[in-house]
Protein backbone atom coordinates (compact mmCIF):
# COMPACT_ATOMS: atom_id res chain seq x y z
CA UNK A 1 0.00 0.00 0.00
CA UNK A 2 1.44 3.36 -1.01
CA UNK A 3 2.06 6.09 1.54
CA UNK A 4 -0.13 8.47 -0.37
CA UNK A 5 -3.13 6.36 0.58
CA UNK A 6 -3.16 8.26 3.86
CA UNK A 7 -4.47 11.27 1.95
CA UNK A 8 -6.46 9.53 -0.79
CA UNK A 9 -8.58 7.08 1.16
CA UNK A 10 -11.60 8.87 2.70
CA UNK A 11 -12.11 6.27 5.44
CA UNK A 12 -8.56 6.60 6.74
CA UNK A 13 -8.64 10.37 6.51
CA UNK A 14 -11.93 10.44 8.40
CA UNK A 15 -10.57 8.13 11.11
CA UNK A 16 -7.42 10.19 11.53
CA UNK A 17 -9.35 13.47 11.73
CA UNK A 18 -12.07 12.12 14.03
CA UNK A 19 -9.65 10.64 16.55
CA UNK A 20 -7.43 13.69 16.12
CA UNK A 21 -10.20 15.99 17.34
CA UNK A 22 -10.61 13.82 20.46
CA UNK A 23 -6.84 14.10 20.94
CA UNK A 24 -7.13 17.87 20.58
CA UNK A 25 -9.74 18.01 23.34
CA UNK A 26 -7.49 15.89 25.57
CA UNK A 27 -4.60 18.29 25.06
CA UNK A 28 -6.84 21.30 25.54
CA UNK A 29 -7.88 20.06 28.97
CA UNK A 30 -4.30 19.25 30.03
CA UNK A 31 -3.13 22.61 28.72
CA UNK A 32 -5.91 24.60 30.38
CA UNK A 33 -4.95 23.39 33.84
CA UNK A 34 -1.40 24.73 33.41
CA UNK A 35 -2.85 28.21 32.84
CA UNK A 36 -5.58 27.87 35.45
CA UNK A 37 -3.13 27.03 38.23
CA UNK A 38 -1.27 30.25 37.45
CA UNK A 39 -4.54 32.14 37.92
CA UNK A 40 -5.54 30.10 40.99
CA UNK A 41 -2.20 30.82 42.61
CA UNK A 42 -3.25 34.47 42.66
CA UNK A 43 -6.97 34.07 43.45
CA UNK A 44 -6.75 31.25 46.02
CA UNK A 45 -3.25 32.21 47.19
CA UNK A 46 -1.87 28.74 46.49
CA UNK A 47 1.72 27.94 47.37
CA UNK A 48 4.17 26.30 44.99
CA UNK A 49 3.68 22.89 46.64
CA UNK A 50 -0.10 23.09 46.20
CA UNK A 51 0.31 23.94 42.52
CA UNK A 52 2.65 20.99 42.12
CA UNK A 53 0.20 18.74 44.01
CA UNK A 54 -2.71 19.68 41.76
CA UNK A 55 -0.69 18.88 38.64
CA UNK A 56 0.53 15.62 40.21
CA UNK A 57 -3.01 14.49 41.10
CA UNK A 58 -4.07 15.04 37.50
CA UNK A 59 -1.19 12.78 36.44
CA UNK A 60 -2.13 10.12 39.01
CA UNK A 61 -5.55 9.98 37.37
CA UNK A 62 -3.91 9.72 33.93
CA UNK A 63 -1.78 6.79 35.14
CA UNK A 64 -4.84 4.96 36.40
CA UNK A 65 -6.76 5.76 33.22
CA UNK A 66 -3.99 4.54 30.91
CA UNK A 67 -3.72 1.25 32.80
CA UNK A 68 -7.47 0.59 32.89
CA UNK A 69 -8.32 1.79 29.37
CA UNK A 70 -5.39 -0.02 27.75
CA UNK A 71 -6.50 -3.30 29.28
CA UNK A 72 -10.21 -2.78 28.63
CA UNK A 73 -9.57 -1.87 24.98
CA UNK A 74 -7.92 -5.26 24.35
CA UNK A 75 -10.87 -6.96 26.00
CA UNK A 76 -13.89 -4.98 24.75
CA UNK A 77 -12.64 -3.03 21.75
CA UNK A 78 -10.92 0.29 21.07
CA UNK A 79 -14.03 2.24 20.00
CA UNK A 80 -16.18 1.69 23.09
CA UNK A 81 -13.37 2.49 25.52
CA UNK A 82 -12.39 5.59 23.52
CA UNK A 83 -15.92 6.97 23.83
CA UNK A 84 -16.07 6.20 27.55
CA UNK A 85 -12.84 8.03 28.32
CA UNK A 86 -13.98 11.18 26.47
CA UNK A 87 -17.24 11.27 28.43
CA UNK A 88 -15.38 10.84 31.74
CA UNK A 89 -12.88 13.66 31.26
CA UNK A 90 -15.36 16.12 29.76
CA UNK A 91 -17.92 15.60 32.54
CA UNK A 92 -15.32 15.94 35.29
CA UNK A 93 -13.83 19.03 33.64
CA UNK A 94 -17.22 20.72 33.53
CA UNK A 95 -17.86 19.89 37.18
CA UNK A 96 -14.47 21.41 38.06
CA UNK A 97 -16.00 24.81 37.29
CA UNK A 98 -18.17 24.34 40.39
CA UNK A 99 -15.26 23.57 42.74
CA UNK A 100 -15.39 25.64 45.91
CA UNK A 101 -12.19 24.42 47.53
CA UNK A 102 -8.75 23.14 46.66
CA UNK A 103 -9.61 19.61 47.90
CA UNK A 104 -12.74 19.34 45.74
CA UNK A 105 -10.82 20.57 42.72
CA UNK A 106 -8.11 17.93 43.33
CA UNK A 107 -10.74 15.14 43.42
CA UNK A 108 -12.33 16.32 40.19
CA UNK A 109 -8.93 16.68 38.49
CA UNK A 110 -8.13 13.07 39.44
CA UNK A 111 -11.33 11.89 37.73
CA UNK A 112 -10.57 14.11 34.74
CA UNK A 113 -7.11 12.56 34.57
CA UNK A 114 -8.58 9.04 34.43
CA UNK A 115 -10.40 9.97 31.24
CA UNK A 116 -7.51 11.94 29.76
CA UNK A 117 -4.93 9.23 30.41
CA UNK A 118 -7.21 6.50 29.09
CA UNK A 119 -8.04 8.19 25.80
CA UNK A 120 -4.47 8.59 24.51
CA UNK A 121 -3.16 4.98 24.36
CA UNK A 122 -6.49 3.71 22.99
CA UNK A 123 -6.65 6.33 20.22
CA UNK A 124 -3.02 5.78 19.16
CA UNK A 125 -3.53 2.00 19.09
CA UNK A 126 -6.68 2.37 16.98
CA UNK A 127 -4.94 4.57 14.41
CA UNK A 128 -1.77 2.44 14.33
CA UNK A 129 -3.80 -0.69 13.62
CA UNK A 130 -5.82 0.96 10.85
CA UNK A 131 -2.91 1.93 8.58
CA UNK A 132 -0.42 -0.11 6.57
CA UNK A 133 3.19 -0.69 7.65
CA UNK A 134 4.49 2.02 5.33
CA UNK A 135 2.15 4.75 6.61
CA UNK A 136 1.23 3.94 10.22
CA UNK A 137 4.17 5.80 11.81
CA UNK A 138 3.38 9.00 9.96
CA UNK A 139 -0.34 8.58 10.70
CA UNK A 140 0.22 8.31 14.46
CA UNK A 141 2.57 11.32 14.50
CA UNK A 142 -0.05 13.30 12.58
CA UNK A 143 -2.58 12.15 15.17
CA UNK A 144 -0.23 13.46 17.87
CA UNK A 145 0.01 16.80 16.05
CA UNK A 146 -3.55 17.49 17.21
CA UNK A 147 -2.03 17.74 20.69
CA UNK A 148 -0.31 20.94 19.62
CA UNK A 149 -3.62 22.26 18.30
CA UNK A 150 -5.20 21.48 21.68
CA UNK A 151 -2.48 23.38 23.53
CA UNK A 152 -2.90 26.30 21.16
CA UNK A 153 -6.64 26.33 21.90
CA UNK A 154 -5.85 26.17 25.63
CA UNK A 155 -3.41 29.06 25.30
CA UNK A 156 -6.02 31.11 23.38
CA UNK A 157 -8.62 30.37 26.07
CA UNK A 158 -6.11 31.42 28.72
CA UNK A 159 -5.22 34.64 26.92
CA UNK A 160 -8.71 35.77 25.90
CA UNK A 161 -11.06 34.09 28.41
CA UNK A 162 -9.41 33.63 31.81
CA UNK A 163 -8.28 37.25 32.43
CA UNK A 164 -11.77 38.58 31.54
CA UNK A 165 -14.26 35.85 32.47
CA UNK A 166 -12.31 33.80 35.02
CA UNK A 167 -10.97 30.27 35.27
CA UNK A 168 -14.38 28.66 35.87
CA UNK A 169 -15.50 29.50 32.33
CA UNK A 170 -12.36 27.76 31.02
CA UNK A 171 -13.44 24.58 32.82
CA UNK A 172 -16.94 24.86 31.35
CA UNK A 173 -15.39 24.95 27.87
CA UNK A 174 -13.55 21.76 28.84
CA UNK A 175 -16.93 19.99 29.13
CA UNK A 176 -17.76 20.44 25.43
CA UNK A 177 -15.94 17.26 24.24
CA UNK A 178 -18.74 15.22 25.83
CA UNK A 179 -21.00 16.28 22.95
CA UNK A 180 -18.32 15.26 20.45
CA UNK A 181 -18.50 11.70 21.77
CA UNK A 182 -22.01 11.49 20.24
CA UNK A 183 -20.47 12.12 16.82
CA UNK A 184 -17.63 9.64 17.37
CA UNK A 185 -20.16 6.96 18.29
CA UNK A 186 -21.29 6.89 14.65
CA UNK A 187 -18.10 7.88 12.81
CA UNK A 188 -15.46 5.61 14.35
CA UNK A 189 -15.30 1.81 14.25
CA UNK A 190 -12.85 -0.68 15.69
CA UNK A 191 -9.75 -1.40 13.61
CA UNK A 192 -9.89 -4.28 11.08
CA UNK A 193 -7.02 -5.96 12.92
CA UNK A 194 -8.89 -6.05 16.21
CA UNK A 195 -12.23 -7.14 14.73
CA UNK A 196 -10.39 -9.81 12.73
CA UNK A 197 -8.95 -11.51 15.81
CA UNK A 198 -10.15 -15.10 15.81
CA UNK A 199 -8.29 -16.27 18.87
CA UNK A 200 -9.71 -16.30 22.38
CA UNK A 201 -9.45 -12.93 24.11
CA UNK A 202 -6.69 -13.18 26.70
CA UNK A 203 -7.29 -12.34 30.34
CA UNK A 204 -5.58 -9.31 31.86
CA UNK A 205 -3.06 -11.53 33.66
CA UNK A 206 -2.25 -13.35 30.42
CA UNK A 207 -1.76 -10.09 28.55
CA UNK A 208 0.57 -8.67 31.23
CA UNK A 209 2.51 -11.94 31.26
CA UNK A 210 2.84 -11.73 27.47
CA UNK A 211 4.09 -8.14 27.59
CA UNK A 212 6.78 -9.20 30.09
CA UNK A 213 7.60 -12.54 28.42
CA UNK A 214 11.12 -13.19 27.14
CA UNK A 215 9.96 -12.19 23.65
CA UNK A 216 9.08 -8.64 24.64
CA UNK A 217 10.88 -8.06 27.95
CA UNK A 218 13.73 -5.92 26.62
CA UNK A 219 11.38 -3.82 24.52
CA UNK A 220 8.97 -3.37 27.45
CA UNK A 221 11.72 -2.33 29.87
CA UNK A 222 13.16 0.12 27.31
CA UNK A 223 9.70 1.56 26.68
CA UNK A 224 8.94 2.03 30.37
CA UNK A 225 12.19 3.93 30.95
CA UNK A 226 11.61 6.02 27.82
CA UNK A 227 8.03 6.88 28.81
CA UNK A 228 9.01 7.71 32.38
CA UNK A 229 11.77 10.14 31.41
CA UNK A 230 9.76 11.83 28.64
CA UNK A 231 6.58 12.26 30.71
CA UNK A 232 8.55 13.31 33.81
CA UNK A 233 10.33 16.07 31.93
CA UNK A 234 7.37 17.18 29.81
CA UNK A 235 4.88 17.64 32.64
CA UNK A 236 7.55 19.00 34.95
CA UNK A 237 8.47 21.68 32.45
CA UNK A 238 5.30 22.47 30.50
CA UNK A 239 2.71 22.46 33.30
CA UNK A 240 4.95 24.96 35.09
CA UNK A 241 5.77 27.03 32.00
CA UNK A 242 3.30 29.90 32.63
CA UNK A 243 4.26 29.99 36.32
CA UNK A 244 7.99 29.92 35.48
CA UNK A 245 7.44 32.92 33.23
CA UNK A 246 5.82 34.73 36.17
CA UNK A 247 8.78 33.75 38.38
CA UNK A 248 11.08 35.23 35.74
CA UNK A 249 9.31 38.56 36.25
CA UNK A 250 6.56 38.71 33.63
CA UNK A 251 2.92 39.54 34.39
CA UNK A 252 0.23 36.87 34.10
CA UNK A 253 -1.23 38.09 30.78
CA UNK A 254 2.22 38.65 29.25
CA UNK A 255 3.28 35.15 30.39
CA UNK A 256 0.22 33.64 28.67
CA UNK A 257 1.11 35.54 25.50
CA UNK A 258 4.69 34.24 25.45
CA UNK A 259 3.61 30.66 26.16
CA UNK A 260 1.14 30.89 23.26
CA UNK A 261 4.01 31.84 20.94
CA UNK A 262 6.07 28.89 22.21
CA UNK A 263 3.13 26.55 21.80
CA UNK A 264 2.78 27.41 18.11
CA UNK A 265 6.20 25.78 17.55
CA UNK A 266 4.76 22.38 18.48
CA UNK A 267 3.04 21.99 15.11
CA UNK A 268 6.16 22.14 12.91
CA UNK A 269 7.83 19.84 15.47
CA UNK A 270 5.19 17.22 14.78
CA UNK A 271 5.18 17.70 11.03
CA UNK A 272 8.94 17.36 10.69
CA UNK A 273 8.85 14.24 12.88
CA UNK A 274 6.02 12.82 10.73
CA UNK A 275 8.20 13.26 7.64
CA UNK A 276 11.45 12.00 9.14
CA UNK A 277 10.00 9.00 10.96
CA UNK A 278 9.21 7.14 7.72
CA UNK A 279 12.42 8.29 6.04
CA UNK A 280 15.02 7.56 8.76
CA UNK A 281 13.16 5.40 11.28
CA UNK A 282 11.68 5.73 14.75
CA UNK A 283 14.87 5.48 16.80
CA UNK A 284 16.70 8.16 14.83
CA UNK A 285 13.88 10.67 15.23
CA UNK A 286 13.31 9.88 18.90
CA UNK A 287 16.95 10.00 19.97
CA UNK A 288 17.74 13.14 17.92
CA UNK A 289 14.68 15.07 19.06
CA UNK A 290 15.16 14.06 22.70
CA UNK A 291 18.79 15.19 22.80
CA UNK A 292 17.83 18.51 21.20
CA UNK A 293 15.01 18.83 23.77
CA UNK A 294 17.57 18.41 26.54
CA UNK A 295 19.78 21.11 25.04
CA UNK A 296 16.77 23.44 24.66
CA UNK A 297 15.81 22.91 28.32
CA UNK A 298 19.25 24.12 29.44
CA UNK A 299 19.06 27.06 27.07
CA UNK A 300 15.60 28.06 28.34
CA UNK A 301 16.63 27.94 31.98
CA UNK A 302 19.64 30.18 31.33
CA UNK A 303 17.89 32.67 29.03
CA UNK A 304 17.97 36.19 30.48
CA UNK A 305 16.34 38.28 27.73
CA UNK A 306 12.84 38.15 26.24
CA UNK A 307 14.20 37.22 22.80
CA UNK A 308 16.36 34.40 24.14
CA UNK A 309 13.56 33.15 26.36
CA UNK A 310 11.08 32.93 23.49
CA UNK A 311 13.64 31.37 21.12
CA UNK A 312 14.60 28.72 23.67
CA UNK A 313 10.95 28.05 24.48
CA UNK A 314 10.15 27.64 20.79
CA UNK A 315 12.95 25.08 20.40
CA UNK A 316 11.84 23.29 23.56
CA UNK A 317 8.29 22.97 22.21
CA UNK A 318 9.44 22.01 18.71
CA UNK A 319 11.72 19.14 19.68
CA UNK A 320 9.88 17.86 22.76
CA UNK A 321 6.53 17.48 21.02
CA UNK A 322 8.14 16.01 17.92
CA UNK A 323 9.64 13.37 20.20
CA UNK A 324 6.21 12.72 21.75
CA UNK A 325 4.76 12.05 18.31
CA UNK A 326 7.53 9.61 17.47
CA UNK A 327 7.10 7.84 20.83
CA UNK A 328 3.39 7.32 20.29
CA UNK A 329 4.10 5.94 16.81
CA UNK A 330 6.86 3.65 18.11
CA UNK A 331 5.09 2.12 21.11
CA UNK A 332 2.18 0.21 19.47
CA UNK A 333 4.56 -1.26 16.88
CA UNK A 334 6.35 -3.38 19.48
CA UNK A 335 3.39 -5.63 20.37
CA UNK A 336 0.96 -7.92 18.48
CA UNK A 337 -2.72 -6.99 18.18
CA UNK A 338 -4.00 -9.22 20.98
CA UNK A 339 -1.90 -7.41 23.62
CA UNK A 340 -1.11 -4.13 21.84
CA UNK A 341 -3.40 -1.79 23.75
CA UNK A 342 -2.39 -3.39 27.06
CA UNK A 343 1.30 -2.92 26.22
CA UNK A 344 0.76 0.71 25.24
CA UNK A 345 -1.43 1.34 28.30
CA UNK A 346 1.10 -0.18 30.71
CA UNK A 347 3.96 1.89 29.27
CA UNK A 348 1.86 5.06 29.35
CA UNK A 349 0.68 4.31 32.88
CA UNK A 350 4.23 3.83 34.15
CA UNK A 351 5.23 7.00 32.34
CA UNK A 352 2.50 8.90 34.18
CA UNK A 353 4.34 8.16 37.42
CA UNK A 354 6.96 10.51 36.00
CA UNK A 355 4.15 12.96 35.30
CA UNK A 356 3.21 12.75 38.98
CA UNK A 357 6.73 13.26 40.27
CA UNK A 358 7.82 15.97 37.81
CA UNK A 359 5.34 18.78 38.59
CA UNK A 360 5.36 18.04 42.31
CA UNK A 361 9.17 18.04 42.40
CA UNK A 362 9.23 21.45 40.71
CA UNK A 363 6.81 22.71 43.36
CA UNK A 364 9.08 21.48 46.16
CA UNK A 365 12.19 22.98 44.55
CA UNK A 366 10.52 26.34 43.88
CA UNK A 367 9.18 26.41 47.45
CA UNK A 368 12.75 25.85 48.66
CA UNK A 369 13.97 28.74 46.48
CA UNK A 370 16.03 26.61 44.10
CA UNK A 371 17.16 28.36 40.93
CA UNK A 372 15.26 27.63 37.70
CA UNK A 373 18.59 26.62 36.16
CA UNK A 374 19.07 23.88 38.75
CA UNK A 375 15.50 22.65 38.31
CA UNK A 376 15.83 22.37 34.53
CA UNK A 377 19.15 20.55 34.92
CA UNK A 378 17.16 17.68 36.48
CA UNK A 379 15.05 17.46 33.33
CA UNK A 380 18.14 17.69 31.12
CA UNK A 381 19.64 14.62 32.81
CA UNK A 382 16.35 12.67 32.67
CA UNK A 383 15.88 13.29 28.95
CA UNK A 384 19.45 12.29 28.12
CA UNK A 385 19.02 9.03 30.09
CA UNK A 386 15.86 8.20 28.13
CA UNK A 387 17.55 8.92 24.80
CA UNK A 388 20.61 6.79 25.60
CA UNK A 389 18.55 3.83 26.86
CA UNK A 390 16.58 3.85 23.62
CA UNK A 391 19.72 4.23 21.51
CA UNK A 392 21.47 1.21 23.02
CA UNK A 393 18.58 -1.11 23.92
CA UNK A 394 15.62 -0.15 21.72
CA UNK A 395 14.79 -1.92 18.46
CA UNK A 396 13.82 -0.24 15.21
CA UNK A 397 10.21 -0.93 14.21
CA UNK A 398 9.99 0.76 10.82
CA UNK A 399 8.28 -1.60 8.34
CA UNK A 400 8.06 -4.43 10.90
CA UNK A 401 4.92 -6.25 12.02
CA UNK A 402 4.90 -8.03 15.42
CA UNK A 403 1.81 -10.00 14.38
CA UNK A 404 4.00 -11.92 11.93
CA UNK A 405 7.50 -11.54 13.38
CA UNK A 406 9.06 -14.71 14.66
CA UNK A 407 11.00 -12.94 17.37
CA UNK A 408 10.46 -9.26 18.05
CA UNK A 409 13.15 -8.96 20.71
pLDDT at 407: 39
DSSP states of 263-283: HHTHHHHHHHHHHHHHHH-HH
When mean pLDDT is compared across 121-130, 195-204, 268-277, the lowest value belongs to 195-204
Look at residue 407 and tell me if it is in a domain.
no
Q: What is the pLDDT of residue 307?
A: 84
Band of residue 252 on the pLDDT scale cut at 50, 70, 90: low
Number of domains making up the chain:
1
Residues 301 and 376: their CA atoms lie apart, in Å, by 6
Question: Does residue 325 fall inside a structural domain?
Answer: yes
Residue 37 located in a structural domain: yes
86-98: average pLDDT: 95
Phi-psi region of 126 (alpha: psi -120 to 50; beta: other; left: phi over 0): alpha
The whole-angstrom separation of Cα 229 and Cα 327 is: 12
Question: For the residues of 301-359, what is the DSSP string, one character each?
Answer: HH--SHHHHHHHHHHHHHHHHHHHHHHHHHGGGGS-HHHHHHHHHHHHHHHHHHHHHHH
> Within 10 A of 353 (CB to CB), how many other CB atoms are there?
17
pLDDT value for 251: 67
Q: How far apart are CA 321 and CA 317, in angstroms?
A: 6
Q: How far is 364 from 144, CA to CA, in rounded Å? A: 31
Q: Percentage of the chain with pLDDT > 70? A: 94
pLDDT at 363 over 60: yes
Convert the pLDDT of each residue in 254-282 to its tens digit.
677 777 788 888 889 999 999 999 899 99
Distance of CA 279 to the CA centre of its chain: 24
The beta strands (E) that lie in 223-271 are given as none
pLDDT confidence tier of residue 95, bands split at 50, 70 and 90: very high
The pLDDT assigned to 52 comes to: 77
Is 267 part of any domain? yes
Cβ-based burial of 74 (10 A; exposed 0-12, middle 13-18, buried ≥19): buried
**Residue 256: CATH number of its domain:** 1.20.1250.20
Residue 194 lies in a domain: no
Tell me whether residue 399 is in a domain.
no
- In this prediction the pTM is 0.81
Q: How confident is residue 168, by pLDDT bands cut at 50, 70 and 90?
A: very high
Instruction: Print the domain residue range for 72.
Output: 5-184+202-393
Amino acid sequence: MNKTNLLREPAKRKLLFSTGISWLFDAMDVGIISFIVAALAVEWKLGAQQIGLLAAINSIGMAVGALLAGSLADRYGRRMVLLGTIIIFSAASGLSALATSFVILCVLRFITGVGLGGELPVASTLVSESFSLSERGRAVVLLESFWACGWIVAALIAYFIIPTYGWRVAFVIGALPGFYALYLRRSVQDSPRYTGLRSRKLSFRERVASVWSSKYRRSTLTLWILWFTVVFSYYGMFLWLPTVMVIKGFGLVKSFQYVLIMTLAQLPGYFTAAYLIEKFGRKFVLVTYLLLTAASALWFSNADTVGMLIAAGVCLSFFNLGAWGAMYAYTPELYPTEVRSTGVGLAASFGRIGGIIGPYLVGLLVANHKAITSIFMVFFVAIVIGALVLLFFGKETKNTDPDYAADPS
